[in-house]
Amino acid sequence: MSDLRDCVLIVEDEFLIAEGLRYQIEEMGQSVCAIAATAEDAIAAAQAHRPRIVLMDMRLRGEKDGVDAALAIYDTVGSKVIFITGSREPATMARIDTDHPAAVLFKPLSERQLRHTIEEVLAR
Amino acid sequence: MSIWDWLLNPSGLTPHGFCLSWAPGLVTIHVVSDVLIGLSYFSIPLAIAAFVRRRPDLQYGWVAYLFVAFILACGTTHLMAILTLWVPAYGIEGLIKMATAILSIATAAILWPLIPRAAALPSVAQLEQLNLRLRESEAEARLSNLELERRVAERTSQLERANAQLTEALAERSQAQQALARNEAEYRASFEAAAVGKIQTDPLTGKYIRVNRAFAHMLGYEPEDLIGQDGWSFTWPEDREEGREGYARLLAGEVSTYHREKRYLRRDGQPVWGRLSGSIVRDPETNEPLLSIGVVEDIDERHKAQAALETAKRDLEDMVEARTAALRQRDLLLREVYHRVKNNLQIVDSLLVMQARQVSDPGAKEALLSLRSRVYALGLVHHQLMGSTNLSTFDVAPFLHELSTNVVEGGADQNIELNVEAIPLEVGLDFAIPLGLLVTELVTNALKHAFPGRPGTIDVMLRRGADGSIALIVADNGVGYAADGAHAGGTGSGLGASIIKGLVLQMGGMMSVAGDKGTRVEIRFAAPVAS
């Protein structure tokens, strides 16, 4: 979608991890438009900032998880969602797969993986 | 005149010879003739008497004696005629003639009426005829007698045959009766002495007609206690309804036999398990049920054992389920732990990223960033563990590939080719963490020192030696440590070098370094005790 902005929305309820991600993204030359810690905030932020890319943690504070937020964002905004998860549970993976993920990254993230993935998704 | 005179010489009469003038010729003729006649007349009656005496069967024999008397009397008169030639005994002669006359008249008088009767007597011819006929009829009789005897013999043999048949039939019947009696005795014996319970019940009333000892004892009774009792009252109350339904089907002929495992009610009020096989004896013509027959096997022990077995099995299943649940819980907890570890490492990584931005000294920045790759190695081990099915071991080959790639791509600006070649090897946390850190250090060293401003190749290999030991080889085609003594593993004095030395020691390994064609570090250690 052409009306999306060239920025990254970080959805992560751990402050330090979110900050680490922000630093790395900024070092790549990208801008971070917002950081959200809950699914609701994430949806609201996505709708407000219309980011081209969302880095989405699976586990979030509150009742809804990353998949719920991603579905809503995919439907209302159309951002590319890159999931970041600490889990390799088959159930989690199956749930992510229902949600048109642009990519899935596992914690701990290497800077290389993050950079490659964002570049690759943006190039699509 | 005296009687004597009258008899011998009445009135002086002259002898008869005188009348004949005593002519010798006349006298002689008279004397001779009268003598002969007199003698004959005495002889004839004697012969008649002798004949009659010999034939006592003659009818009218007494007439013959009359003739004897009459002829004797006649003979006497002739003798008297001789006497009177010389003696004038005309008195005696007259008396004798008078007696002869009486006998003659009597004989004559009797003879006439006798004629028809004598004529009626069978003649000899008639008798012979009769005799002949008698013989003929005798022969006939003999013939018919023979026929009769033949028929009698025939009948006799028929009778004997019939008798033999009858005897045989009787014997057969007796055998059949004996066999029947034997069968009955055998049946009785097998019924009474059987080790399994046997019962016979009236199909209409349901009452026991006959039960054996085994059945009665199974229920805690004697057979005589049960006979005449309602069979259903000895079935465990909860099993009665189902039992009745099955029995009704048997009675109705819907099924020919009936098998059930059910509980009986013991005398002491306890249930006892029995396996009942029932059938119905029916009237062959009317098909009416006559007798219901049951065999009851005592399966109480078996049933109890089975129940105990099932309980034990259920307990075991519960235990397995509990263990499985516990294991699942453990797996869940482990995954959660791994997840948290990874998350915490991510936080550490973030702190390093943030700290690195704060420092301005390039050496310090580099040191912080090299910490990131070590943290990444730790995180990757946990990530592999989390993806393995047993949560405790994983295949080292993809791990080494991922790890080396991350170091090379994250650290190199120039064109470095990486080749990873690892045997499949299941490793656990204790082996994977030092191995991962070693690979990180060695590959980082190669990147930093082997290729000053030029492309090259790094090989990471994990091999198994002939003695079963494992060899980790990190080799590059760079400048070699001779040209730059600082970089080779173990030879430097920096943090990386002491990490390498310490981990090799920890793993009980032996390190060798060759630096003539690039640098080749080989660490040999015992294979991990496979998980």
Tens digits of residue pLDDT in B326-371: 888 888 888 889 888 998 999 999 999 999 988 999 889 888 888 9
pLDDT at B530: 57
**Residue B410 and residue B524 in one domain:** yes
Final residue before a domain boundary, out of B278, B298, B318: B298
In a domain, residue B162? The reply is: no
| A79 contacts A121 by C-beta, under 8 angstroms | no
- Residues in chain A with CB shorter than 8 Å from the CB of B354 are 16, 19-20, 23
Query: pLDDT at residue B13 above 80?
Result: no
Final residue before a domain boundary, out of B391, B411, B429: B391
Are B357 and A110 inside 8 Å of each other by CB?
Answer: no
In a domain, residue B71? The reply is: yes
Q: pLDDT class for A97, splitting at 50, 70, 90? A: confident
Q: Closest to B343 (Cβ–Cβ): which among A107, A110, A112?
A: A107
Chain B nearest-CA residue for A18: B350
Q: Which of A80, A70, A77, A71 is CA-nearest to residue A102? A: A80
**Residue B258 and residue B323 in one domain:** no
**Residue B114 and residue B225 in one domain:** no
Tens digits of residue pLDDT in B501-528: 999 999 999 999 988 788 999 999 998 8
SS3 B281: strand
Kindly tell me the burial class for residue B355, based on how many C-beta atoms sit within 10 Å of its own C-beta (0-12, 13-18, 19 or more).
Answer: middle
Q: Which of B193, B195, B278 is CA-nearest to residue B235? A: B278
CA distance B364 to B353: 12
pLDDT at A12: 93
**Residue B273 and residue B325 in one domain:** no
Tens digits of residue pLDDT in B451-469: 887 889 999 999 998 888 9
pLDDT at B488: 47
In a domain, residue B512? The reply is: yes
In a domain, residue B67? The reply is: yes
Q: Which domain CATH number covers B219?
A: 3.30.450.20
- Residue B248 or B488, more confident: B248
pLDDT at B225: 92
Q: pLDDT class for B491, splitting at 50, 70, 90? A: very low
pLDDT at B413: 66
Beta bridge partner(s), residue A106:
A85
Using the Cβ of A90 and the Cβ atoms of chain B, whether some distance falls under 8 Å is answered with: no
Give the angle A55-A56-A57 at the CA atoms, nearest 5°. Answer: 125
Using the Cβ of B217 and the Cβ atoms of chain A, whether some distance falls under 8 Å is answered with: no
**Residue B211 and residue B264 in one domain:** yes
**Residue B56 and residue B75 in one domain:** yes
- Residues in chain A with CB shorter than 8 Å from the CB of B349 are 20, 108-109
CA distance B460 to B416: 13
Percent of chain B with pLDDT over 70: 96
Percent of chain B with pLDDT over 90: 34
pLDDT at B388: 87
Range of the domain at B217: 194-298
Using the Cβ of A110 and the Cβ atoms of chain B, whether some distance falls under 8 Å is answered with: yes
Tens digits of residue pLDDT in B117-164: 878 877 778 888 888 888 888 888 888 888 888 888 888 888 888 888
Structure tokens at B430: 């204790």
Query: pLDDT at residue B484 above 60?
Result: no
pLDDT at A2: 55
* For testing contact with chain A, the best of B335, B336, B346 (most A CBs within 10 A): B346
Chain B nearest-CA residue for A90: B387
Using the Cβ of A28 and the Cβ atoms of chain B, whether some distance falls under 8 Å is answered with: no
**Residue B375 and residue B403 in one domain:** no
pLDDT at B516: 79
In a domain, residue B129? The reply is: no
**Residue B433 and residue B404 in one domain:** yes
Task: Return the C-alpha torsion angle A47, A51, A52, A56, nearest 10.
Answer: -90
Q: pLDDT class for B5, splitting at 50, 70, 90? A: confident
Q: What is the mean pLDDT of residues B296-305?
A: 88
Using the Cβ of B98 and the Cβ atoms of chain A, whether some distance falls under 8 Å is answered with: no
Query: pLDDT at residue B486 above 70?
Result: no
Using the Cβ of A15 and the Cβ atoms of chain B, whether some distance falls under 8 Å is answered with: no
pLDDT at B223: 92
DSSP one-letter code for B146: H
Side-chain-facing half-sphere of B483: CA atoms under 13 Å:
12
Using the Cβ of B351 and the Cβ atoms of chain A, whether some distance falls under 8 Å is answered with: yes
Query: pLDDT at residue B405 above 50?
Result: yes
| B531 contacts B385 by C-beta, under 8 angstroms | no
In a domain, residue B182? The reply is: no
In a domain, residue B184? The reply is: no
CA distance B121 to B306: 121
**Residue B525 and residue B406 in one domain:** yes
In chain A, where the domains are located: 10-123
Size of interface A-B (CB pairs under 8 A): 70
For chain B positions 264-283, those within 8 Å of chain A (CB to CB) are none
Are A107 and B342 inside 8 Å of each other by CB?
Answer: yes
**Residue B83 and residue B95 in one domain:** yes
Range from A32-41, B184-193, B435-444 carrying the lowest mean pLDDT: B184-193
Using the Cβ of B333 and the Cβ atoms of chain A, whether some distance falls under 8 Å is answered with: no
**Residue B396 and residue B531 in one domain:** yes
Q: What is the mean pLDDT of residues B294-301?
A: 90
Q: pLDDT class for B394, splitting at 50, 70, 90? A: very high
DSSP one-letter code for B233: G
Q: Domain A10-123 has what CATH class?
A: alpha beta
pLDDT at B489: 45
Q: Closest to B406 (Cβ–Cβ): which among A23, A106, A110?
A: A110
Count the neighbouring beta carbons within 10 Å of the beta carbon of residue B71. Answer: 22
Query: pLDDT at residue B63 above 60?
Result: yes
Count up the domains in chain B and report the number. 4
Q: Which of B206, B183, B210, B187 is CA-nearest to residue B198? A: B210
In a domain, residue B141? The reply is: no
Q: Closest to A20 (Cβ–Cβ): which among B335, B353, B409?
A: B353
Chain A nearest-CA residue for B405: A112
| B441 contacts B500 by C-beta, under 8 angstroms | yes
Tens digits of residue pLDDT in A47-93: 999 999 999 998 888 888 899 999 999 889 999 999 998 877 777 88
Structure tokens at B261: 């495992």
Are B346 and A86 inside 8 Å of each other by CB?
Answer: yes
Final residue before a domain boundary, out of B351, B374, B391: B391
**Residue B397 and residue B527 in one domain:** yes
Are A88 and B386 inside 8 Å of each other by CB?
Answer: yes
Q: What is the mean pLDDT of residues B166-189?
A: 86
